Amino acid sequence: MPITSLNDLEKYTVLTEEEREWREDGGHTLPILVSDHLTPLIADPAIRRQFVPSVKENKDTIGNLDPQMEKEYSVTNRLVRRYKNRAAFLVTDSCFAYCRHCFRRRFAGSMVGPATEKDIEEACSFLSEHSEIKEVLLTGGDMFTLSDSSLDSLLHSFKEARPDIIYRLCTRALTSNPDRFTPSLFEVIKKNSFGAPFYLMTQFNHSLEITEKAESVINNFIKLGIPIMNQTVLLRGVNDSVEVETELSNKLLSLRVKPYYLFQGDLVQGTAHLRVPLSKGLEIEKGMRESLSGLGLPQYTIDLPQGGGKVPVESRYNKGLKDGIWTFSTIDGEERHYPEDV
């Protein structure tokens, strides 16, 4: 059974004082959810810090619960459009495990449930009327928490509405529940693979997450001809070293997975203890650039606060550090700020 409380956790591991003092306050903390697959892996600190809560979440007052302003950019109940040519559809708030660094804390684990038929119809109608949108992220939550039949209906609806759109299948299930990827699920994906291609978007933050079961799932997606891109989040005490990031990138490449993004942590309330200073992130990127080819090097990227959008950290958008504050320019030329002392 999945772990859903501190009492459950204590059956498998000895909690630290910081972990034991955590409280689910219904505000900026997420519920506890650690999948059966992850339970034996939390013995390692790199996995533990991602899924076991800390009282530091309760004490963090930096940022807010919606730093990307997704509510303001929502064009339907579940469709978020922050860019001209792409949008994100929030399939469900449920995951197989809740990441303590989750940037969508306002939504994940909120018990609102999967998107309704009306939600899907409204999103598909909007996409049909906006041909300039070329990509849609099917995200959440984790879309693969849905049943096969619900996924079939969802994918068919979107594909029927806009078969020319590239749909990104966004998931952490390869880390948290690789057993979900059954032959029947792959049949659903194959059945709906008409039109523009699917892309599988994974999040592996450490090479320990790439288990034999995860490798098997990767191979099955590749057999279907579905490209796989990985998005890593830079996390303190998890992967904040050149060695760990390089090992992860090399492992992914060996499995035909492209290291796509290395994300700076968003300014989400409750996650400050996991964020890495930008100056250290730049040092890590420099070391990775010296150790990896262009094929293996993910783009170190920041999703700017106040819905500023994604920009490369090492780029003309970075205006520098002054008085402990980094200043960035959005693509539209507006200023956004990010603290060095996270």
- Residues designated catalytic: 82-83, 86, 95, 99, 102, 104, 266, 303, 310
Per-residue buried b or exposed e for 132-158, using 16+ beta carbons within 10 Å of the residue's own CB: ebeebbbbbbbbbbbebebbbbbbeeb
Largest pairwise CA distance in the chain: 56
Contact by Cβ (8 Å): 206, 248 = yes
**CA gap 20, 83 in Å, rounded:** 41
Contact between residue 328 and residue 302 where contact means Cβ atoms under 8 Å apart: yes
Tokens 């279907």, located at residue: 224
Q: Round to whole Å and give the CA distance between 306 and 73.
A: 11
- The candidate with the shortest Cα–Cα distance to 288, out of 280, 278, 296, is 296
Q: Residue 295 in contact with residue 306, Cβ under 8 Å? A: no
The closest of 241, 76, 62 to 161, measured between CA atoms, is 76
* Helix residue spans in 193-308 (DSSP H): 212-223, 242-254, 278-291
Q: How far apart are CA 326 and CA 292, in angstroms?
A: 27
